């Protein structure tokens, strides 16, 4: 048993940290709140570092690394609030790679940037593929597939604006699911760019009106994989952000005094920061579970990925609130970085079904295994 990082993984992590360290991503997160144009384009960085093709097979120009390696990159992105289009691209690339997409070379290089339209696999209590709709309903029917024509709307698609290829999951009249690679520039595809609260996160509402594309060779399980893989990426990203929140909180708790003592010497502060650590450790342990099950116990991956997602989102919510709280009033001001981490936490916990959906899925997976549903 060895759950430590390999040398290659440490190298990947350090390289990511270096590459992202060259951009003032946290400052950019603040500026982009007032000027969306100030959001730096990190896609060239991602391509140069090889992240676009991270999990694409070597024969198609990819690095053919594992899901956990992708998570390691996301931790580094999360640490500095970097807005890279990996939450969209990596699950899409995984589907394209497994489904025999024609131009995988361009995906691996990143000359074509892909994303996917998040579609929740059926659960024990909602036995249908569903998506999120605009304006609040969190369980709309999936995109309809009629022959090779796709119609429907999927809201809150990560990294949709400017994507070249969309992987669309459609369900036909008979309830069969299929995934298609759709050229985003065709008529019949429209993308409405939206940002909400966290300006580093590019989202889009995607509407398909008879769009068509290349059918990928994937069965239902293969298609469902993208949902869980994306949950682990979101989890990893959150863990990185938690680590920054914790370091910043600890530093301030050592130097800020009240009533003659550093505030970090008070149990209320100390115990809360240990709670951040505890949640970080738990979330990371579950990320390890997700990484391991992805390779060696694929039937547990939905459970592990959902657990990691829920734990990490909750940890980030807690850590970001604690970051503000430790800093007192100053932590709630625009000039401070704390609100940027808080904004990240607030949006992230509600993406891709939200952390409540992930928690419910943990229960559902375990109940199903116990034969209770």
| Residues of this chain, 256-275, that bind a second copy according to CB under 8 A | 266-268, 271
Does position 311 interact with another protein (CB under 8 A)? The reply is yes
CB of 44 to another protein, least distance (A): 28
Phi, psi for residue 177 in degrees, rounded to 5: -105, 145
Please give the full DSSP string across 145-161, using - where no structure is assigned.
EETTEEEEEEEEEET-T
Strand bridging mode 177-183 / 213-215 = antiparallel
Near another protein in 228-247, by CB under 8 A: 246
Task: With beta carbons less than 8 A apart as the criterion, state whether 269 and 253 touch.
Answer: yes
Does position 39 interact with another protein (CB under 8 A)? The reply is no
Does position 197 interact with a second copy (CB under 8 A)? The reply is no
Size, binding site for another protein by CB under 8 A:
97
- CA 181 to CA 329: how far, in whole Å? 49
CB of 74 to another protein, least distance (A): 16
Q: Which of 56, 98, 142, 269 touches another protein by CB under 8 A?
A: 269
Instruction: Locate 319 and state its tokens.
Output: 């850590």
Task: With beta carbons less than 8 A apart as the criterion, state whether 181 and 189 touch.
Answer: no
Nearer to another protein, 25 or 249 (CB): 249
Nearer to another protein, 24 or 369 (CB): 369
Q: Which of 124, 148, 183, 192 touches another protein by CB under 8 A?
A: 124
330 binds, among another protein, a second copy, none (CB under 5 to 8 A by kind): another protein
Instruction: From residue 48, give the alpha-carbon distance in Å to each of 54, 129, 206, 356.
Output: 11, 36, 28, 36
Task: With beta carbons less than 8 A apart as the criterion, state whether 203 and 194 touch.
Answer: yes
How many CA atoms does the CB half-sphere of 359 hold within 13 Å?
A: 10
Closest-CA residue to 133 (of 106, 115, 156): 156
CB of 259 to a second copy, least distance (A): 12
CB of 320 to another protein, least distance (A): 9
Q: Which stretch binds another protein (CB under 8 A): 36-44, 46-54, 225-233, 347-355?
A: 347-355
- CA 168 to CA 107: how far, in whole Å? 16
Nearer to another protein, 65 or 104 (CB): 65
Nearer to a second copy, 185 or 267 (CB): 267
Q: Which of 141, 271, 298, 299 touches another protein by CB under 8 A?
A: 271
Does position 267 interact with another protein (CB under 8 A)? The reply is yes
Q: Which of 56, 310, 316, 337 touches another protein by CB under 8 A?
A: 310
Instruction: Locate 6 and state its tokens.
Output: 């390999």
All residues at 6 or more sequence positions from 135 whose CB lies less than 8 Å from its CB, including other chains: none
Q: Which residues contribute to the site for a second copy (CB under 8 A)?
A: 266-268, 271
């Amino acid at each position: 048993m060895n759950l430590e990082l390999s040398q290659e993984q440490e190298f990947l992590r350090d390289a990511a940290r270096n590459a992202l360290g060259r951009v003032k991503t946290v400052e950019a997160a603040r500026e982009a709140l007032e000027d969306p144009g100030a959001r730096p384009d990190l896609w060239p960085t991602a391509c140069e570092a090889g992240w676009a093709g991270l999990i694409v097979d070597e024969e198609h120009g990819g690095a053919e690394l594992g899901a956990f390696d992708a998570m390691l990159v996301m931790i580094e992105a999360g640490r500095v609030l970097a807005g890279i289009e990996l939450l969209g691209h990596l699950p899409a690339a995984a589907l394209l790679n497994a489904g025999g997409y024609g131009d995988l070379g361009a995906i691996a290089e990143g000359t074509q940037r892909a994303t996917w339209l998040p579609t929740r696999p059926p659960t024990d209590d909602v036995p249908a593929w569903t998506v999120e709709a605009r304006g609040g309903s969190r369980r709309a029917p999936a995109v309809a597939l009629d022959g090779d024509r796709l119609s429907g709307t999927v809201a809150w698609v990560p990294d949709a604006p400017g994507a070249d290829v969309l992987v669309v999951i459609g369900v036909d009249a008979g309830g069969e699911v299929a995934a298609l690679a759709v050229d985003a520039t065709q008529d019949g595809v429209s993308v409405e760019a939206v940002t909400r609260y966290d300006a580093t996160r590019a989202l889009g509402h995607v509407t398909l009106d008879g769009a068509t594309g290349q059918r990928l060779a994937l069965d239902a399980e293969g298609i469902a994989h993208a949902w869980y893989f994306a949950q682990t990426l979101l989890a990893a990203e959150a863990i990185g952000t938690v680590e920054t929140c914790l370091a910043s909180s600890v530093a301030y708790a050592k130097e800020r005094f009240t009533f003659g003592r550093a505030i970090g010497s008070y149990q209320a502060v100390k115990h809360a920061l240990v709670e951040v650590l505890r949640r970080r450790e738990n979330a990371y342990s579950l990320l390890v579970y997700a990484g391991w099950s992805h390779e060696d116990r694929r039937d547990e991956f939905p459970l592990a990925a959902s657990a990691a997602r829920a734990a990490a989102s909750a940890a980030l919510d807690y850590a970001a609130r604690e970051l503000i709280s430790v800093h007192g009033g100053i932590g709630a001001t625009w000039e401070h970085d704390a609100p940027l981490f808080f904004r990240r936490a607030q949006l992230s916990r509600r993406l891709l079904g939200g952390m409540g959906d992930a928690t419910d899925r943990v229960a559902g997976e375990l109940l199903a295994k116990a034969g209770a549903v």
